[in-house]
Structure 1
Amino acid sequence: MSGYRRVSFWMDQLVASGRDDLTPRPPLDGDRSADVCVIGGGLTGLWTAWYLHQADPSLQIVVVEKEIAGFGASGRNGGWCSALFPREAAEIAEHTGRDAALAMRRAMRETVDEVGRAADEAGIDCDFVKGGTVLYARSAVQDRAARAEVDASAAFGDDMVYRSALPGDAAGSVGVAFTPDCARLQPAALVRGLAAALEARGVVIAERTPAVSWAPGRVVTTSGTVSAGAVVVALEGYGATMPQTRRRIMPLYSLMIATEPLSEAAWGRIGLEHGQTFSDYRHLLIYGQRTADDRFAFGGRGARYHWGSTIRNSYDRVPRVFRHLRTTLAELFPDVGDVGVTHTWGGPIGVPRDWCASVTWDGSVGSAGGYVGDGLSTTNLAGRTLADLVRGVSSSLTGLPWVGHHSPDWEPEPLRFLGANAGLVATDIADREERLTGRPSMAARVREKVTGH
């Protein structure tokens, strides 16, 4: 693979299937004016443009993107369109009240269906199947965590259920929690399809057009300045590379592998159906799906944070983490056998200091992000919310508790480097500790006090 195909399995699949050759759109050609200028061609920016255009087709909208649409997390993620939100409902209730927490949970559940509906409306084939998420509890400690999550979720309207493990579940499972509020999809197909649908409707998408700075009324790029009444900043983890947002977000790397396709017989033994995603209750997060072409797409954390929040293409591939992911997949599902790994990739996710996503609008400049890996659906909710805020519309969305939330800045280096990587080590230790002791981890408690998560 070469060029943008190498970004992820999802991007390569688009090219291999003839659905998109990933040829960059023309860059901005000098100064121009618009009603709205969006910085970032990922799902946050494109969904914002989509709903703005739906509400008012007369708006002149320009999207500027440093690489190509979907180059960042939007084209690399695990393909979970879920109702997950980085901050737990109980924590939202503690800070902003129970009604606000209930509204946030309801909005997230509805967003899963909205993504599928909007993709259909835009004519996007992104393998959207709402099959839910299977969460394996593979020890007594994890089983207690699963039962506790099911009980807690019921208090906020989530339809989550628990059952005892069955023979087809992941190896060593004691119990299983299940939520229906998740769809499996092909993320690059979604984001690239959305870009094409917007362009067909007259929205200008200038690729290979890095933004240099922004201010009320203008966005300065390397190819010209866009004068616009409204500016939307949608950079997610890449906000750490910009002077104006450098300490507002931390880029942490999440890596993935994709296997060769498995036989129908193997999938029958594994027990995962089309449309289902899966994880378990370990501390060092893993996530996976059965793809539309019967592969495992499987990812997790484990890559370290890099000094100064630097982002480089070389950080996308860490052989040690890929080996760990392949070993972990075989431990979960021995029936994968010796199936080969065909693709390895990764990329940065955006993490705010308090691990809470947000949408902001000051009357001329708006932003959204901090999804901590839960962005495939949350970007859609952000886009709808920003579209209302930009147009001055008061709605149930603009009243949600994440609107107007401002996370504190991350600590300066070297504190940020030491804290982030110490947290990663503590997370790994927590899983080892629980396997050895059979009790909830003390290391995890210490990490939560230090990092806030």
Structure 2
Amino acid sequence: MGHRRQTVFERNVPARSVVDHALASTRQAVFWQDDLGEPAAYPALSARVRADVAVVGAGYAGLWAALRARQRHPGARVVLIEGRSVGWAASGRGPGFCGARLTHGGRPDADERAALTRLGQEHLAAVGSAVAELGLDCPWERTGVVDLAVEPHQIDWLQDAAGAAARAGAPHTLLDRAKVRAEIASPTYEAGLVRPDAVALTHPARLAAELARAASALGVEIFEHTRVTRLVPPGRGAHGDVVLRTTSPAGEAAVRADRVVLGTGAFPALPRRYRRHTVPVYDYAIATEPLSAELLGAIGWRGRQGLRDLAHRAHRYRLTADDRIVFGGHDAVYHYGGRVRRAYENRPEASRRLAEHLLTTFPQLEGVRLTHRWAGAAGVTTGCGPFLGQAAGGRVQHVAGFAGLGVVATHFAAEVALDRFDVLDGAAETERSALRTLRQVPAPFPPEPVTAAGLRAVGRSLDGADHGHGRRDVLLRSLDALGLGRDT
């Protein structure tokens, strides 16, 4: 066992009284959803309907699938069913980073790696175009991102990343310690890699609400507070249709559909074969009150880029339209049994740790109050990235595992699911639907208690790497060898 070295966040812990003051007025509430206000409401399903395409889940994956299905086939009846409300779950809770990356893990060959990189950039541009063309009333700031070394050993990683960016012809600027601190005044930064084309920032809850509005305007029928209890494949008394059994305050009903897209995120998959392919992992975040112009001047950050450090247990943070800092990450918590529960969102120790880390990053914030603390559950796979499963001979497409990828990867996956439907109708495969990487379904998680024990072990190993100069232990190296990569 190597020497356990303190991280920068342990070497420079702010005074307890400073942290107490920052947390004193926080509410357990999602800042983005509070800031959105009262969104449009959609009815619950109260009667049987038949659709050409039915979509389950009104997060980004489902919203993109429904909207793009209607655009491709304007005469089709498209129905979108949501168990709670539009954007209620992970899509309305994340930091609003819209990155060009389409997968975390896996081992695509060189050709597919190049294709995934290019397609990621194309889909990032496509989402930005959709915001403009559909008239979506939500921010879209093409700010880019700064990857940050916060420990000396991470400088080598940044230099490797800069070399890879140079070979790929991607715009980038490597900043040494003095230059990165002149750009953004944090005593924790050792170096930075600016990627101006890699990320756009948006308001996650507002984007979800606006996608629903645009889809509805195109003719998509949206039903909220309608939970799908069962998926019945064709050939069981359904006259060739896929049947979705539902329940809502309006009673029990059903949707019969020719094609179905499932975008249920961290919630249990409807096809039994995929029930153990994702598990919900909780990520935590905090938001400050709006910062004064004087305070912003002391920090710098004039480019308003998204920021993320290179720790194995990393932080991501950004400025909002009203100049708050939203700061999240570090803790990723799985609860035994893989359930999604509101009670899991309140984790005071995680909120306190984030407050400490924020104040270590920006000591200038002493005296500033935090207003919100919240969490969201994201669906995580053993392959550390999204996958597209299918059932009923391809008539049911299941897209899942977007943890940390968000807007752009869900747009990509929705388009692939619709490409696959077109292939069923005789169309040729598209470049993206033909990718071998997308046909690789990750291994399922084992039954409890093995999953809980295994994820705890991975968490300990990641923490150990952060405390051991970045060195990965035998568990992490074994996962690397299986293609799970640094983002495990």
TM-score w.r.t. the length of structure 1 is: 0.90
Answering whether residue 468 of structure 2 is matched by residue 433 of structure 1, we say yes
Are 2:283 and 2:333, in contact at CA under 8 Å, matched by a contact in 1? no
The one-letter code sitting in structure 1 at the alignment partner of 2:53 is V
Answering whether residue 229 of structure 2 is matched by residue 198 of structure 1, we say no
- With 306-315 and 113-122 compared, the bigger mean Cα shift is at 113-122
Query: How far apart are the structure 1 equivalents of 2:477 and 2:315?
Result: 19
Match of 2:450 among 407, 415, 418: 415
Please report how far the alpha carbon of residue 243 of structure 1 lies from its aligned counterpart in structure 2 after TM superposition: 5.3
> Which whole-Å deviations, capped at 9, do the CAs of 1:342-396 have from their partners, x for residues lacking one?
0111111111112131224442110212122112221111122222222224222
Query: How far apart are the structure 2 equivalents of 1:159 and 1:249?
Result: 34
Please report how far the alpha carbon of residue 427 of structure 1 lies from its aligned counterpart in structure 2 after TM superposition: 1.8
Indicate how the Cα distance of structure 1 residues 8 and 190 shifts in structure 2: closer, same or farther if over 3 A, else same: same
Are 1:359 and 1:369, in contact at CA under 8 Å, matched by a contact in 2? yes
Match of 1:103 among 91, 106, 115: 115
Specify the alignment match of 2:132 in structure 1: 120
Indicate how the Cα distance of structure 1 residues 401 and 330 shifts in structure 2: closer, same or farther if over 3 A, else same: farther
Specify the alignment match of 1:381 in structure 2: 412
Query: How far apart are the structure 2 equivalents of 1:242 and 1:358?
Result: 14
Are 1:274 and 1:290, in contact at CA under 8 Å, matched by a contact in 2? no
Please report how far the alpha carbon of residue 156 of structure 1 lies from its aligned counterpart in structure 2 after TM superposition: 4.3
Answering whether residue 77 of structure 2 is matched by residue 60 of structure 1, we say yes
Query: How far apart are the structure 2 equivalents of 1:49 and 1:297?
Result: 30
RMSD (Å), alpha carbons: 2.1
Query: How far apart are the structure 1 equivalents of 2:28 and 2:347?
Result: 15
Answering whether residue 147 of structure 2 is matched by residue 135 of structure 1, we say yes
Match of 1:214 among 207, 231, 244: 231
Query: How far apart are the structure 2 equivalents of 1:105 and 1:302?
Result: 28
> Which whole-Å deviations, capped at 9, do the CAs of 1:48-102 have from their partners, x for residues lacking one?
11111111111101111100010111100111001133335xx534xxx211110
> Which whole-Å deviations, capped at 9, do the CAs of 1:154-181 have from their partners, x for residues lacking one?
4445433322122333323221111121
Specify the alignment match of 2:400 in structure 1: 369
Specify the alignment match of 1:316 in structure 2: 345
Q: Please show how residues 40-59 of structure 1 align to structure 2 within 5 Å.
A: 40-59=57-76
Give 3-state SS (helix, strand or coil) of 2:460's partner.
helix
Match of 1:92 among 75, 98, 107: 107
Query: How far apart are the structure 2 equivalents of 1:65 and 1:163?
Result: 45
Give 3-state SS (helix, strand or coil) of 2:281's partner.
strand
Query: How far apart are the structure 2 equivalents of 1:268 and 1:241?
Result: 50
Are 1:230 and 1:365, in contact at CA under 8 Å, matched by a contact in 2? yes
Match of 1:291 among 300, 320, 334: 320
Query: How far apart are the structure 2 equivalents of 1:156 and 1:314?
Result: 45
Are 1:240 and 1:250, in contact at CA under 8 Å, matched by a contact in 2? no
Indicate how the Cα distance of structure 1 residues 355 and 448 shifts in structure 2: closer, same or farther if over 3 A, else same: farther
Answering whether residue 48 of structure 2 is matched by residue 31 of structure 1, we say yes
Higher CA-based Rg: 2
Specify the alignment match of 1:249 in structure 2: 278
Query: How far apart are the structure 1 equivalents of 2:78 and 2:367?
Result: 49
Match of 1:259 among 266, 270, 288: 288
Answering whether residue 431 of structure 2 is matched by residue 399 of structure 1, we say no
Match of 1:176 among 178, 192, 202: 192
Query: How far apart are the structure 1 equivalents of 2:157 and 2:42?
Result: 47
Q: Please show how residues 134-173 of structure 1 align to structure 2 within 5 Å.
A: 134-165=146-177, 166=179, 167-168=181-182, 169=184, 170-173=186-189
Please report how far the alpha carbon of residue 7 of structure 1 lies from its aligned counterpart in structure 2 after TM superposition: 5.5
Q: Which has the higher contact order (CA 8 A, sep 6+)?
A: 2
Match of 2:360 among 331, 340, 347: 331
Are 2:259 and 2:395, in contact at CA under 8 Å, matched by a contact in 1? yes
Please report how far the alpha carbon of residue 35 of structure 1 lies from its aligned counterpart in structure 2 after TM superposition: 0.2
- With 395-404 and 296-305 compared, the bigger mean Cα shift is at 395-404
Give 3-state SS (helix, strand or coil) of 1:386's partner.
helix
Query: How far apart are the structure 2 equivalents of 1:74 and 1:374?
Result: 10
Indicate how the Cα distance of structure 1 residues 100 and 117 shifts in structure 2: closer, same or farther if over 3 A, else same: same
Are 1:240 and 1:251, in contact at CA under 8 Å, matched by a contact in 2? no
Specify the alignment match of 1:224 in structure 2: 253
Please report how far the alpha carbon of residue 317 of structure 1 lies from its aligned counterpart in structure 2 after TM superposition: 2.0
Indicate how the Cα distance of structure 1 residues 50 and 7 shifts in structure 2: closer, same or farther if over 3 A, else same: farther
Are 1:86 and 1:372, in contact at CA under 8 Å, matched by a contact in 2? no
The alignment covers a number of residue pairs equal to 433
Query: How far apart are the structure 1 equivalents of 2:454 and 2:289?
Result: 37
Answering whether residue 97 of structure 2 is matched by residue 80 of structure 1, we say yes
Query: How far apart are the structure 2 equivalents of 1:143 and 1:340?
Result: 32
Indicate how the Cα distance of structure 1 residues 153 and 240 shifts in structure 2: closer, same or farther if over 3 A, else same: farther
Are 1:241 and 1:310, in contact at CA under 8 Å, matched by a contact in 2? no
In structure 1, the gaps of 5 or more residues are 16-20, 435-439
In structure 2, the gaps of 5 or more residues are 1-26, 234-241
TM-score w.r.t. the length of structure 2 is: 0.84
Query: How far apart are the structure 2 equivalents of 1:273 and 1:242?
Result: 47
